[in-house]
A and B are shown apart, each in its own frame.
Chain A
Amino acid sequence: MNKIVLILLLSLFSFTIFSQSNITIKGSVSDTLGNPLIQATVLLLERQDSTMVDYTRCEMDGSFKFKDVSKGDYVVKSTYVGFLPLMIGANTMSGEDLDLGQIKMTELAEELMTVVIKAAKAPIVMRGDTIEYDASTFKVPEGSTVEDLLRRLPGIEIEQDGSISADGKDVNKVTVDGKSFFGSDPKAATKNLPAEGISKVQVFDTETSEEEVTGIKSADSDKTMNLELKEEFKKGGFGKVIAAAGTQNRTALNGPRAELKGNFNKFNDKIQFSIVGVGNNTGRNGLSWDDYRDFMGSQAFNFGDDLEFGFGGGGRGYFTFGGGDSGIESSIQSLFFNGGNSGGIPLNYNAGASFNYEHKKTKFSSVYYYNQQGLVKETQMDQSRFYDDFTSVEQGLETNDSNFQGHRMELSFEQEIDTLHSFKVTANGAFIDQTVGQVESANLFRNNVLNSQSSFDNQSDKEGYLGNATFLFRKKFKKKGRRAGINFSYLKSELDTDENQVSDSYFVANDSTAIFNYLNEDMATKDLFKANAVYVEPLGKKFFWQSFYNYSNRQETGDRIVLESEELDGFLSRNFNNTILLNRVGSSLRYSHDGYNLTAGLAHQNYDLQGDFVSENALLKGVVDKQFDNWLPYFNVDISPQRNTYLSAGYTRQAVEPNIADLQPIVDTRNPFYIREGNLNLTPELSNIYSISGNHNWPLEAIRVSLNLSYSEYDSQFSTEETVDENLVTFLRPINVEGGEERSVWSSFSFPIIKNKLTVRTNFSYDLGKRPSLVNKVENITTRQTYNPSIRVSYTPSTEFSINGSARLRITDTEYDINVSQNQRIINNNYSLTMNSKLFAKIYSNASFSYNVNVNERFNFEENVPLLNASLYRHFLPDNKLEVRVSVYDLLGRSQNISQSTFGNSVFFSTSDVIGRYFMLSLSYNIRGMKGGIEKSRWW
C-alpha cells in the first residue's frame, strides 16, 4: 500500500519535473590512454543519497548523453568491466546543459583483481581513492594467526622478525576494534590473535599528536592497522535460579515445602555447555520444554534415529514429549519431563550436565543426567470384579514408600565424510537403583459377604545397569534419489532384584489361615543385537523402489532363587534361557510428486522363539521352540494439494510376537490370590489397522480443523483366561482371542471470535475398545466407549489482563456381556478458569481454579474436588531480572487424588492422599531478564 503510494507520488513528481526541464548532460568515457570504452555503463545518481535517476550506455566513440534532466545536484558514475568505477559531480542547478568532457577510467590493479576479487571472492568497497575489502573471506588453515592471514593480503609485507609494512610503509601501531592491543608492539597482536576471529583489516595513516591538533597530515607518515573482530552471531548464554520456601501442612508427613531450581547455559557457534538442577518436595518437576531446550541445546529436537528401517520414506515423523517410565531402558528425554503428580508426598532431585560440540561436518554431544524420585503415598482402593453369577469386591489400604535413583549418560558422534557419506555412533549407559516398600491390608467380599482378610508386606530392591551402542552409516549415490543406509546396535542390560514378600491371609469359609514368607533373588540379563539395512532406487523421477531388511537377536536369561521361610523352594526357584530371532524383509513402491505420495508394499517376517527352563529341583523342565511366519501388507496415501491442506489414509497389518514368559507353562504361586501360568500354544497377535486423517487451515482467518479416524480389528489378540475358585483365588492364563476391535475418532476445530483477542478451541474424541476374554469358562466381551468433548475459550483484551476457561468432559460407558446388570457409566469432568492480571504498582496476579467431577451412578459414587491456586508477583531490577512471588496452593484444602477406571471384567476406584494447602514464597533471578506483562497464550 505504502509502496504503491510512494511509487505513484514519485512518478507523478518526476513527471512534473521532467516535463519542465530539458537539460542535457553529456560526456565521453575512455581509458587512461584515451581509447573510448564502448558500451560502458553510465549512471546518473542524485548526489545526496545515490538514488539512480537514469542510466545509459556509451556509443561507439565512447560518448554518452542524458536528455531531459531536471535541475539538481547529481553524480555521474561510469563503470566498465575490468576498470574501477568512477564518479564525477554534475551540478545542473544553473539550468544549463553540462559537458563533462572525457572521463578517464583506470584499470583495476591486477593484484586486486586476481587476489581479492577472483580468489577470495571478497567484495571491494571504494571510499574516495582508497579501497577496502573484507579480510575474513581470505581462506587460511584452521589455527592460523592474524600474521598468516596478513601474508595473503595484497599490498602487505611481513618481515622475518614479524614487522609489518603496508604499501611500502611501516605499520607502527596495531589496534583491535580501535583499541590498543598489549601496548605498542604491533607484532603482539598479529602473532597471537587467531585469524578466525577477524572480520576486517583496515590500514590507514597514523596521526601523530601534532597532526591531530593541526589536522595537517604529513606525506610520509607511518601506518596504523586496525583489526576488527567478528561479531559472533551464535554466541550467548542464559541462566536462572529459583528458590522457594513454603509452610508446613498440618496433615502432611515430611516437613515444610521447599523448591530449589537452577540452570545455566553458555554457547558459541561451536560449543554448547549447560547444567541444570532441581530439588523439591512439591511434586512439580518444575522443568518445562524451554528448560529442556536450554539443557540439550542443538540436540533438543534430535529424538534419536529411527534405526528400524521400514516402509516409511522421509515423510512426516512424530514428536513425542512428556514423561515416560523410569525403567532402565528409558531415555534422558523422557526422564526430564517425568514429574507427573499422582498424589502422595514426593521428594525429587534432578541434576544434569550437557556438552555439545559442532564444527563444520563434525557433531559431538554428551549428556549426563541424575534423577532421584521419592514418594510416600497412602491409597484407599476399591476393586469390583464381575462374573456370570457373582461379584467380588476387594477393599484395601495400601501404603507405599518408594525411592528411585538413576544415573544416565548419552554420547553421540556424527561425521559427514563428504556430501554423499556420513556416519553416526552413539553410546548410552545407565545405572539404576530402586527400593519399594509396599504394605497393604485388604478385605475380599463375595456378593457382599466377607470371604477373606489378608495383609501383605512387600519390600524390594532392584539394581541394574544398561549399555547400548549404535552405529549408523548413510550413503547417497551420484544418481539422484538412490541411497542406502545400514545400522547395527547392541544392547546389554542386567537387573538384580531382591524381594521379600510376606502375606498373611484368613479364609472365612473354611476358617483357615495361609502365611507365606518368600525371599526372592532374581537376576535377569538381556543381550540384544540388531542390524538393519535399507536401499532406495529411483525409477524415473516420480517413482521409488525401497527395500529393507531387519534382523534382531534377543537373548534373555533369568535366574531366580526363592526361599520359603528360609528354605530353598525347589519348585519356584528356576532358570530360563530364551532366544528370540527376527528376520523381516520388505519391499515397496512409492509414487512421489507434487505433494502426492502413494506407497504400496509387502513384507515377510519370521519369528523364531527358542527357550529352555528348568526348576531347581529339576521336576519342572522343558523347552519352547516356535516359529511364526507372517505376511505384512502396507498401503499409504499422503496428499497435500496445497500447503494448508493435508490428507492421509493408510492400511497396515501388524504381528506382535508373544512374550516368552507367557509361553512357558510355569506356574507362579507367589501371590496366593493370583496364580499365573504360561501357555505353550500362544500365537502372535495379528491386527489390521486402517486410518484416515486430514487437516485444513485458513491462516488469514485463523481457523483450523482436523479429523483423525482409525480402526483396528484383531484376527488374534492377547487376552486372559480367568478362573476364580470359591475362595476367590484367581487363576490367570494368557490366551489368544478373536473378534476384538478398536475404533477412535479425534477432531478439533479452532476459530477466533475476535481475532487475537477472543479465541475458541473445541475438541471431540471418541474411543471404542472391545476385548473378549474367558471368565470361568464363559466368554465375556467387555466393550468400553469413551466420549471426550472439550472446549476452551481464551480472552486477552489487553497486555494487562487475560482469562482462559475450559470444560473437558470424559464419559466412559463400560458394558460387560457376562453380567449386563453391571454395565456402568463413569464420569470424570474437569472445569477450569485461569486468570492473569496486572493489579497495581507493577504487581501481577495469577489465579487458577479447577473443579473435578467424578461420578459413578451404579456405585452411588460422586466426589467433587475443587482446587484453587493463586499467586501475586512483582518484577524488580532492570530487565525484570528478579521476581518475587507469593503463592498459595490448594487454598480450599479439599484436594484429593481420585482415579476410577474399568478394565476387563473389573472396575477400580482409588483415592490417595495429597500434600494439601500450603503457602510459598519464591525468588527467581534470571540473568537475561523476564518478560513483563501477561504471557500470551500461543495455542491455536
Chain B
Amino acid sequence: MKKFLVAIIFLSISLSTFAQSLNGVIVYNRKVNYVSIMTRLPFLTSEEIDRVKLTWGNNSDNKGTNYVYFFNEAQSLYTQSEEENEGGYSWSEEKYVLQRDHKKKTVNDWREVLGKRYLVEDDLPKYKWKILNEIKEIEGYLCMKAETYDPVKDQTIHAWFSDGIIFSGGPEGFAGLPGMILELNINDGDVVVTATDIKLTPDKVDIPLPKKMKGKSIDIQGFDSIISMFIAESIAAERNPYWRIRY
C-alpha cells in the first residue's frame, strides 16, 4: 500500500512539476526458455519433444540476462547491461543496441544477426495493440495487459504497461502504448522480459551511445526479410533457427 501511495504522490508531483520531462533508467531481466521454444519446432516428433523436456526441462530456470533502457524526452536506448563477468571467461556478445528518436520518430539500431552487423535505419514502427482486461503489479506499478503479433517470428507478444510512467516506450523495441512497458511475455513464456529496477528522474538522462557503430545500412523490412528467410530455411532443413538468431 505504501508503494502505491508513493506512486500516487509521485504521480501528482510529476503532474505539477515535470509532467513534460520524464527521464529514467530501467533495468530489465530477459529470460529465455529454450525448452519451450524447442517444443514448438514443427519437425520434432512427440518423442523428440519429450526427450528435450527430459534432458533440459530442469535447466530452464536460468538467471537470464540484464538489459538497460535509458530514456529522456527525446530519445531512448535499449541494450545489454554491462555486467561484471563472474565466470572469469568472456563470451562474445551479439551487438544489440536499439536507439529511438521519439521526436523525429526514427529508428537507429545497431544489430548483429547471423554473424553480420547492421545499422537499421527507418521510421518508428507502429504496432497494432489490443488492450486486455487484466491488471497486475510490477515493481510497484500497476500495469495493464496489451497484446500484439509479430508475423516475422510468428510470436504473440503480451506487454504489461503502466500509465504511471508517462512515456510511450519499452524493451526490445516495443512501444506505442499509453505508458511504459514493464514486462513482455513472448509466446506464453518462451521469453519473458521484466523490469527489475526502475529509476525515474527529472534530470536529463544522457543516452550512452556506443562510440563507433559500424555495419551495413538496412531498413526494417530488409532486416526482417533476412530473419524470415533464415527461419524458413532452417525449419525446412529441420534445424532449430533460434540457436543462431535471437528469439
Contact = CB atoms under 8 A, between A and B. Distances in A.
Interface of A: 1-4, 6-7, 10-11, 38-39, 41, 43, 45, 49-52, 55, 57, 77, 79, 81-82, 85, 87, 110, 113-114, 117-118, 121-127, 233-238, 265, 267, 269, 272, 290, 293-294, 297-298, 300-301, 313-315, 358, 476, 480-481, 483, 536, 538, 541, 544, 546, 590, 592-597, 638, 640-645, 697-700, 755-756, 879, 926, 928-931, 936, 938
Contacts, number: 221
B89 A315 contact: yes
B11 A926 contact: no
B62 interface: no
A77 B178 CA distance: 12
B215 to A, nearest CB: 11
A593 B150 CA distance: 34
A91 to B, nearest CB: 18
Nearest to B116: A700
Nearest to B1: A114
B92 interface: yes
Interface in B22-63: 36, 45-47, 49-51, 53-59
Contact of A39 (B7, B15, B126): B15
B137 interface: yes
A820 B222 CA distance: 65
Nearest to A110: B1
Contacts of B224: 1, 3-4
A17 to B, nearest CB: 15
A126 B133 contact: yes
Given A124-B135, A700-B115, A756-B236, 17 more contacts: A1-B224, A3-B152, A6-B151, A10-B126, A45-B131, A81-B8, A81-B163, A117-B135, A234-B57, A236-B54, A294-B51, A313-B87, A536-B88, A593-B85, A644-B115, A645-B115, A936-B238
Nearest to A1: B225
B175 to A, nearest CB: 13
A45 B129 CA distance: 10
B92 A125 contact: no
Contact of A79 (B90, B163, B166, B237): B163
B133 A1 contact: no
Specify which of B45, B56, B224 lies most central, judged by the most chain A CB atoms within 10 Å of its CB: B45
A118 B53 contact: no
Contact of A928 (B50, B117, B136, B236): B50
Contacts of A597: 89-90
A677 to B, nearest CB: 48
24 contacts: A7-B126, A50-B132, A51-B128, A55-B178, A79-B163, A81-B11, A81-B164, A82-B8, A87-B133, A123-B135, A123-B136, A126-B134, A126-B135, A127-B133, A267-B53, A267-B57, A293-B51, A298-B54, A313-B87, A590-B88, A595-B92, A640-B91, A756-B233, A928-B45
A125 B229 CA distance: 38
A929 B114 contact: no
Nearest to B135: A124
B87 A293 contact: no
Contacts of A2: 151-152
B58 to A, nearest CB: 5
B133 A236 contact: no
Contacts of B236: 756
A643 B92 contact: yes
B202 interface: no
B207 interface: no
* Candidate in A358, A536, A699 with the most chain B CB atoms within 10 angstroms: A699
Nearest to A796: B237
A572 to B, nearest CB: 53
Interface string B230-246: 10010011110000100
A117 B165 CA distance: 18
Nearest to A134: B136
Contacts of A697: 115
Nearest to B152: A3
B115 A297 contact: no
Contacts of B216: none
A931 B45 contact: yes
B114 A700 contact: yes
Contacts of A114: 1
B100 interface: no
A470 to B, nearest CB: 22
A133 to B, nearest CB: 9
Interface stretch (B65-73, B102-110, B138-146): B138-146
Nearest to B149: A3
B92 A236 contact: no
Nearest to B10: A81
B142 to A, nearest CB: 6
B169 to A, nearest CB: 14
Given A85-B135, A121-B136, A124-B136, A50 B130 contact: yes
> 7 shortest A-B CB distances, which residue pairs?
A595-B92, A644-B115, A123-B136, A314-B87, A236-B50, A640-B92, A928-B47
B89 A233 contact: no
A313 B88 contact: yes
Contacts of A641: 92
Contacts of B88: 313-314, 481, 536, 538, 544, 546, 590, 592
B192 interface: no
Contact of A234 (B4, B53, B87): B53
A1 B91 contact: no
B89 A41 contact: no
A7 to B, nearest CB: 5
B78 to A, nearest CB: 19
B7 A81 contact: yes
B172 interface: no
Nearest to B136: A123
Contacts of B178: 41, 43, 55, 57
Contacts of A77: 131
Contacts of A756: 233, 236-237
Contact of B136 (A11, A87, A122, A594): A122
B1 A43 contact: no
Interface in B174-201: 177-179
Given A3-B150, A481-B88, A121 B137 contact: yes
A52 B131 contact: yes
Nearest to A5: B221
Given A476-B86, A928-B50, A82 B4 contact: yes
Given A52-B130, A643-B94, A930 B230 contact: no
B81 to A, nearest CB: 13
Most buried by A among B91, B130, B226, B238: B91
B83 to A, nearest CB: 8
Contacts of B7: 81
B84 A50 contact: no
B101 interface: no
Given A7-B126, A82-B4, A931-B45, A699 B115 contact: yes
Contacts of A45: 130-131
B91 A238 contact: no
B21 interface: no
B112 A643 contact: yes
B205 interface: no
A1 B232 CA distance: 14
A879 B48 CA distance: 13
Contact of A51 (B8, B36, B89, B130): B130
Nearest to B244: A699
A802 B178 CA distance: 55
Contacts of A481: 84-86, 88
Given A77-B131, A123-B134, A643-B112, A41 B59 contact: no
A11 B128 CA distance: 10
A314 B91 CA distance: 11
Most chain A CB atoms below 10 A, which of B112, B125, B129, B220: B129
Contacts of B56: 298
Interface string B161-173: 0011010000000
